[in-house]
Amino acid sequence: MSDSRIGILFNANMLKGLLRGRTRHEAISFYEDAARRHGVTPIFFRIEDIHLPSMRVLAYVRHHHHYVKQSFPLPDVIHNRAIYFRSRAAKKLSMLAERGILLYNQVNRYGKMKIHDLLSCNPSLLPHLPETHLATKSSVLDMMSRHDSIILKPDNSSVGKGLMKLERTERGWNACYAVSSRKHGKRWRIRPIAHHTLPSIIVKRMNATRYLVQETLPLASYDERPFDLRVSVQRNYTGQWQITGIVGKVAPRHTFVTNVAQGGSVRTFEEIAAQSLPALSYSQVKQAIEDTALRIAETLSDALPHMADLGLDMGVSPEGLPLFIECNGRDQRYSFREAHLLDTWRMTYSNPMEYGIHLLHSRHPVG
């Protein structure tokens, strides 16, 4: 193989953490272990470190117990673990692809509406999708006339930020949303809604950023609390999609948000299913979730280039029907560690690295 290096593209903060030995949720050694097994070296860099005219990069590589900075020819294959919000960075990534660099997970943050529209084009997935519209005052009121509970979520956000819930009660409607202050930090507030009106804070948030409105999915619960599942779907050494693992996330008692970053806790799916779905076959429900997740990954990758590593949030109805919640293009992976699924956690790093090695071999065949 003429090129035995794979690039891993980080944001600046993650690269600083690499040098200090504090990368928080990113387990760098798992990348390195997988690469070592295949005789490949990972090198780590930011987009600012790439010099396009010379097609070289200033990157960090492990040397014994620390990292050293060296100049390398730009690797033919790069795994993108950075998120960029500026068009200049996106343009530079596109220029790399135009010059023949295989950049997988090139774009790893898509709007929720775009993902919903793409999945809606696959008729087999329609039973698994919530009714979803762009949120306007009229579309929210229309959804309230047809559903007992709806969710408002920013089109571009992560870890449960900005979520709001509207729910019908015996006395009318309640709105549930988070507010923050220096004195009290983040608190969840529930307030009644007057007939055919929306609270000013909800209207203000919808005017400030693009929101979606969705029907609240009819999900099974765990210990009388909402839960969903993080399903890791990744390409592997053969280039095919596979299910790497499934882990449950359970909301705190005071809210409906399951994200671990917002106070949710983790459980194995087997533990959750035993209590939440006792009359159903665990193996059959798990297989249905895996089949649906693979169809979602295949549908998205048919339309969006260079996808290789997805973290799908999915729920399950009381009858065992898998339900899609949202797609994460840069899976944080640490839920598996928190649930003590350590082998699965390791695989969430080794699979993307082995897919990169697959791409490297396809460009530089061995033998």
The whole-number pLDDT of residue 24 equals 80
The whole-number pLDDT of residue 101 equals 95
The whole-number pLDDT of residue 149 equals 95
CA pair distance 273, 31, nearest whole angstrom:
32
Q: Does domain 112-129+219-332 have CATH number 3.30.420.40?
A: no
The whole-number pLDDT of residue 289 equals 98
The whole-number pLDDT of residue 85 equals 76
Give strand pairing partners of 265.
250
The whole-number pLDDT of residue 2 equals 44
Residues with pLDDT less than 50, the chain: 1-2, 367
Indicate the CATH number for domain 5-106. Answer: 3.40.50.20
The whole-number pLDDT of residue 194 equals 83
The pTM assigned to this predicted structure is 0.92
CA pair distance 48, 45, nearest whole angstrom:
8
The tokens for 92 are 């530079």
pLDDT tens, position by position, 4-29:
899 999 999 999 998 888 888 889 99
The whole-number pLDDT of residue 116 equals 98
Question: Which sequence spans correspond to the domains of the chain?
Answer: 5-106, 112-129+219-332, 132-215
**CB-based contact 211:152 (threshold 8 Å):** yes
Q: What are phi and psi of 330, to 5 degrees?
A: -135, 85
Give strand pairing partners of 214.
132, 151
Helix (H) or strand (E) holding 114: helix 112-120
User: How many Cα atoms are found within 13 Å in the side-chain-facing hemisphere of 289?
Assistant: 30
The whole-number pLDDT of residue 366 equals 54
**CB-based contact 315:229 (threshold 8 Å):** yes
Distance of CA 34 to the CA centre of its chain: 22
